Amino acid sequence: MTEDEDPQKAQQANSQAIANVIASLKSAGIPEEQLKTSDYRIDPQYDYIDGKELFKNYKVQHIIQAQTTDIEKIGSIIDTAVKSGANSITSIRFSLSNPDAYYNQALSLALKMHTKRLFPWLER
């Protein structure tokens, strides 16, 4: 996130900052196809003094999403991003790369257990 009274200056500063973050994430082993922009905003900011809205500056946010399958590297990836200029880390999520296989396995086991309870005489 960068701020400036001039939106172009705020945007330029943000572009440089995010370029540094992306370059460092790539050097940390995140392939370019695993990096993508998830949000980009330029918003005016205001202060409120004595009930009056006064322009303060423009805030530029460029939010990128990085993915990795190496869970051991998550801490160092976050450290790398922060050291290179990222000033907000949010929404860290963990997920399975193939959830359907595990869902089907759990469903199959549940069906077997349920069948054993309802029809114990079928067990041989």
Same domain membership, residue 107 and residue 79: no
Q: For 11, how many CA atoms within 13 A lie in the half-sphere containing its CB?
A: 8
The alpha-helical segments, DSSP class H, found in the chain are: 7-27, 74-83, 99-118
CA–CA distance, 20 with 22 (Å, rounded to integer): 6
Same domain membership, residue 119 and residue 71: no
Strands 52-66 and 2-4: antiparallel
**pLDDT 10s digits, 8-21:** 999 999 999 999 99
**pLDDT 10s digits, 36-72:** 999 999 999 999 999 999 999 999 999 999 999 888 9
CA–CA distance, 40 with 59 (Å, rounded to integer): 11
Same domain membership, residue 105 and residue 46: no
Domain that holds residue 32: 2-93
DSSP letter, residue 55: E
Residue 71: CATH number of its domain: 3.30.70.2970
Query: Which has the higher per-residue pLDDT, 66 or 121?
Result: 66
Question: Whole-structure pTM over 0.75, yes or no?
Answer: no
Same domain membership, residue 107 and residue 71: no
